[in-house]
Structure formats: C-alpha cells, structure tokens
Chain A
Amino acid sequence: MKRFIGFVKKEFHHIFRDPRTMLILFGMPIAQILIFGYVVSNEINDVKIGVYDKSKDHITKEITNKITASGFFILSDNLDSDKEIEDAFKKGIIREVIVFEQNFAQKLEREGSASIQIIADASDANTANIVANYTESIINSYMREELWAEGLTYQINPEVRMLYNDELKGVYMFVPGTMALILMLVSAMMTSISIAREKEMGTMEVLLVSPLKPLPIVIGKVIPYMVLSFINAIIIIALSFFVFEMPIQGSLIFLLTETLLFIFMALSLGILISTASNSQMVAMFISMFALMLPTMLLSGFIFPIENMPKLLQWVSAIMPAKYFITIIKNIMIKGSGIGVIWKETLIIAGMTLFFLMMSVKKFKVRLE
C-alpha cells in the first residue's frame, strides 16, 4: 500500500509541475463553460429576421420598427405569403419570422386584443429560444410603454412556434455537453498521454521490471486523473447552477454517481488508447480525432442528433457522450431517476467493461 501511495504522489507531481497539464485540467473547463454559457448562448446580435405583415397598419409598422431598432435584429425579408416563410427559412439566412395577423390595428381597437406569431428556426435550439424570448419582450415592452402609457389597455398576444424542433431539444445542451467534453478530455486524453509518456521515456519498462504489478501501475496512474476529473465535474455543475441558473431537479448524489460512471468509462478508454500508442503524440492524435471531434460534433452537443443524416445518427449511437448527455439532461432538467435512464446507464457501464477487457487483452499480447 505504501508503494502505491508513493506512486500516486509521483503522479500528482507530474501533473502539478506541468503548466500545460494544469491549464488543460483547470483553465479549460472554466473557460469552456463560460464561453458556451455567455458567448454562445446568451447574447444575440444582428439576427436576420423576416416579417410577414398581413395588416400593414400603423401599429404593425411601429412594432416592426421597434424590433429592428433594438439592435438585436436586422430586417432582411418582407414576406407576402405563408409559402414564402418556409422558403425563407430553408435558405438559412433568417432565424425568425414575425407574422402579424390581418387587420391587426382594427382588431386591437375593436376587440382589445390581437396576435403576433413568432416562428423561430429551432434546429439551433439555443439561438431559437433566445431570439424568441427577445422578440417577445420587445413586443411586451411596446405594449406597456407605448399603448398602456396612453391609456389604451390593448392586449397583444405573441404566440411562439418553434420550427423543426418543437420540443426545443438542446436548450440546455451546453452544460451537459461541456461536461461530457471536459471529462472526456481530462480523463481519456490526459491518462492516455501520461501512460504513453512513461512508455516514451522508458520509465514504463523500469516499472514493469520492478515488483509492482501492472494493475497497480495502471490504477496508480489513473487515480489522480479520476480525482481531478471529479473535481472538474463539480466545478462545472456549480458554475452552471450558480452562474447560469441551470436547474438541478433530480438528486445531486445520483447526478454525481452517473458522472463518476462516465469518468470510469473515459478512463478505461484512455487506458485502451494508451495500449495502442507508444508515444505521447500518437496518444494525443488518437484522442483528438477519435474522441474530441466526434464528441463535439456527433454527440448532440452542438448539432441536434434529430437533424443529422441517418448515417451520422448511427455513428452517434456509439458515442458514449451521447448517452451521458441524455442522462445529465434528464437528471438536471426533468429530475428523472434511474427508472428513466437505466438503459443509458447500462450502455455506459457496458462500454466501460468492454474498454477494460480490450485493454487487458492488448496488454497481454504485448507481454507474450
């Protein structure tokens, strides 16, 4: 046991003495969550929109002006029929269409209320949600400041419709996504690199010649990264909870347990990668191209899986991050328990086992 503790201590020395490792371990998670949190999700600027004004009266003109004068939106299309809405979205330039119903001003004056339809392109769910919220609040403030101030108690009803993705899958995507990405990076990439480094420097041979058995060597190398990954996960959850007000509806302990399971999976993947690579460079390239990019692009983190071509949907089925993201979203947003996400949990546990068995097998082959 004493030998083992000495070993783990040595591993921490490696980590704390390498500024680059420290930066990846602690700088990156925080930077990423802040970037995805602030830059990607909460700010919108110069979003191009279309307006389909069926009424063309003074009030609809005023509302349109107010929206375009806000600085958030640019009017890029004036539409004349329902069919044009679909076409305009398909061109991919505009993100939102605002539809005023017929005889808008008349209706307001006679019936006291009228409707505006806000249609957003929800294939990018984050942006769609924000864009729609901004539009709504501009309309509401117009209602209060311009109409009610003059004693006109008219009611304008904005109706939001999300096109292409009505359930808004992906709204809270950045927290689970970043978490999956960071844990993958820290656990899988850093362990594979650190094991590959021992091979590259020749120290692995010396360790294997020593009375230390291979299993404690691997566990000793992995434990520090497990601890640090877990700390990272807690930082990410805390940041998203306190700074971005992401809810945690489910049990925090269950959330952390599932996180730990994912860390195990990533670590065993890291070990597997290291058995296949003899230098840090190779380990890094495999991790980068086989893990990071697919995790970002195919796990549903950035692009919703529902919108992918069938072939890529199949590929995404073997991305561990996909299941982890589902688990995290379910626990945090819907408050689900194990009853709902047992399947995903089982898949990740199965993957962990598979990677570990493969590693042991490859390791044995090396010894033969």
Chain B
Amino acid sequence: MIKSTENIIEVKDLVKKFGDFVANDHLTFEVKKGEIFGFLGANGAGKTTAIKILSGLSYPTSGEVNVAGYDVYKEREKVKKNIGYMSQKFSLYEDLTVKENIRFYGGIYGLSNKYIKEKTESLLDRLKMRDIQNSLISSLPLGWKQKIAFSVAIFHSPKIVFLDEPTGGVDPITRRDFWEMIYEASHEGITVFVTTHYMDEAEYCGRVSIMDRGSIEGLGTPVELKGQFNAQNMDEVFLKIAR
C-alpha cells in the first residue's frame, strides 16, 4: 500500500438534511491518497447518503466536500471523471456480454476504442475470463459478476473508487478473492473508499470510520480503534459505538 500524506478526499462539516431529518450531521474526515478507507455503520446510519454526496449523486445541504482535488458542488464534472463507483447491486447489464459491458462502460468515460480494446484483452487474461467473454452476464455466478463489476469500476483508472457494500450476498471465499482485487487496485495507487456490513472486512482496511445516527463516532486504524474502545475485535468496537 502506498503511504501518502496527501489528502484525496477532504470533508468538512458536511450536513445533509431531508426536511427535518438530519442524515449527515457535521461530518469531518480526510482520506489519504492510496489508502483503503472503510466506511462503517448500521443500516440507516447515513453511509449511503454520504457516499452519494461524495460521488456526486446528491448535493450536500452545507459544508465543504473536496474529492480528487475538486469541489463536488462546483466542479462536479471534473470529480466524475476521476472517480469510479460500484454499487451493491453490481450494476452490470445482464443482457449484454462480458465484453460488451466492459466496452460500454469504457465508452461512456470517453476512452478511445484502441485503448478499450487493449485494456479489455489484458483484463480478460488477468481475470481468467477469456472463455466467457461472449457470455451474457445473466449466465454468470454472483462472484464473477462482482469481479467484473469491480474491474469495470476501475477500468478508466480513476483516482478514487467508491464501493458501496460490494460484498453483499457472496460467500467468504469469494469475498477473500475480492479483497485481493481491492489490494491490487490500492497497490496501483487507486484510493479505495468502501462501505461494508462485515466487521472482519473492517480489519482489512487501512483506516476506518464508524457512523451512528448521522455522525462519525470513531475514526482511525483498526488497531487504534480497538485500543480506544478497549475491544478485542472490530465487532466489539462496532457494538460499543452503536449502543
């Protein structure tokens, strides 16, 4: 993992309100370039709202949000070019083939045909999916879809990739394989911002933030957090914060 002191995401006093309901209450945190940042919290804690704001799907009510060096409110288009996004639904087109999906997503990021072709070839080799390049996504098992979805999300070499519960519904072995891919991406210098339910996955992250009811209650490396909350593992940390 590349250690860096440069901040790639800077969030200061981010507030997001839906009517009277405060989904994000004065969030402040930074993410360093190249790190794997875990974004944890129970359902409804405000994770998805925050990730939507960071990725430009939603506007903040107030506060400063800087992603990849750009203000998400004023320079949305520049932010979009520099981020990748993978949702918990894996977001591939079921009725397109593996190759068509890659080509389509490469295309909407404005990459050249030649570049897409070359990169697709090397990607298919790396994923060992050459045999199934012309199969429809709907015919593939969940774990494969997940790998392809992640590869597609970082196909245009973004500076940051946002993963919204990327491992939901897959078995432990596939989850492990998937984390291998996350580490690989991180080695290539891509910052990984990941939300998850699984506390064992929190241990894999460089730093972790834990949200509860709209605000960040814990922030640091897994080791720091365990010390701070006097806990054996992240599961305990999480339970102590959530109660």
> Using a CB–CB distance below 8 Å, which chain A residues touch chain B?
2-3, 6-7, 10, 13-14, 17-18, 201-203, 205-212, 367-368
Contact = CB atoms under 8 A, between A and B. Distances in A.
Nearest to A204: B91
A14 B95 contact: yes
A208 B89 contact: no
Interface stretch (B25-33, B79-87, B206-214): B79-87
A17 B95 contact: yes
A205 B58 CA distance: 11
B89 A211 contact: no
Interface in B67-107: 77, 80-81, 83-96, 100, 103-105, 107
A161 B90 CA distance: 67
B89 A6 contact: no
A210 B57 contact: no
Contact of A209 (B56, B92, B94): B56
Given A14-B93, A205-B57, A6 B104 contact: yes
Contact of A210 (B87, B89, B108, B162): B108
Contact of A211 (B55, B88, B109): B109
Contact of B108 (A7, A17, A202): A7
Contacts of B162: 209
Given A14-B95, A212-B108, 16 more contacts: A7-B107, A10-B96, A10-B100, A17-B95, A201-B93, A202-B90, A203-B93, A205-B57, A205-B85, A205-B87, A205-B91, A207-B108, A208-B57, A209-B57, A211-B110, A367-B57
B59 interface: yes
Interface residues of B, number: 32
Given A3-B108, A10-B104, A206 B95 contact: no
A2 B57 contact: no
B58 A13 contact: no
B59 A368 contact: yes
A206 B55 CA distance: 10
Contacts of A205: 57, 85, 87, 91
A202 B109 contact: no
Given A3-B107, A211-B77, A367-B58, A10 B93 contact: yes
The 6 A-B residue pairs with the shortest CB-CB distance in the complex, in nearest-first order = A202-B89, A6-B107, A209-B85, A202-B91, A206-B91, A202-B87
23 contacts: A3-B108, A6-B108, A7-B104, A10-B96, A10-B100, A17-B95, A201-B91, A202-B89, A202-B90, A205-B57, A205-B85, A206-B86, A206-B87, A208-B57, A209-B55, A209-B56, A209-B83, A210-B108, A211-B77, A211-B108, A211-B110, A367-B57, A367-B58
Contacts of A209: 55-57, 80, 83-85, 162
B164 to A, nearest CB: 9
Interface of B: 55-59, 77, 80-81, 83-96, 100, 103-105, 107-110, 153, 162
A14 B103 CA distance: 15
A17 B81 CA distance: 31
* Interface of A (DSSP majority class): helix
Given A201-B94, A205-B85, A211-B81, A13 B108 contact: no
Contacts of A211: 77, 80-81, 108-110
Nearest to A7: B108
Nearest to A13: B96
A165 B162 CA distance: 66
Contact of A18 (B57, B95, B107): B95
A14 B138 CA distance: 13
Nearest to A210: B108
A202 B91 CA distance: 5
Contacts of A10: 93, 96, 100, 104
A46 to B, nearest CB: 48
A6 B86 CA distance: 21
Most central of A207, A210, A212 by chain B CB within 10 Å: A210
Contacts of B84: 209
Given A201-B89, A201-B91, A3 B110 contact: yes
Contacts of B100: 10, 13
B151 to A, nearest CB: 13
B240 to A, nearest CB: 33
Contacts of A3: 107-108, 110
Most central of A3, A202, A211, A367 by chain B CB within 10 Å: A211
A219 to B, nearest CB: 14
Nearest to A17: B95
Nearest to B96: A13
A2 B55 CA distance: 24
Contacts of B90: 202
Contacts of A14: 93, 95-96
A262 B94 CA distance: 32
A229 B234 CA distance: 57
Contacts of A201: 89, 91, 93-94
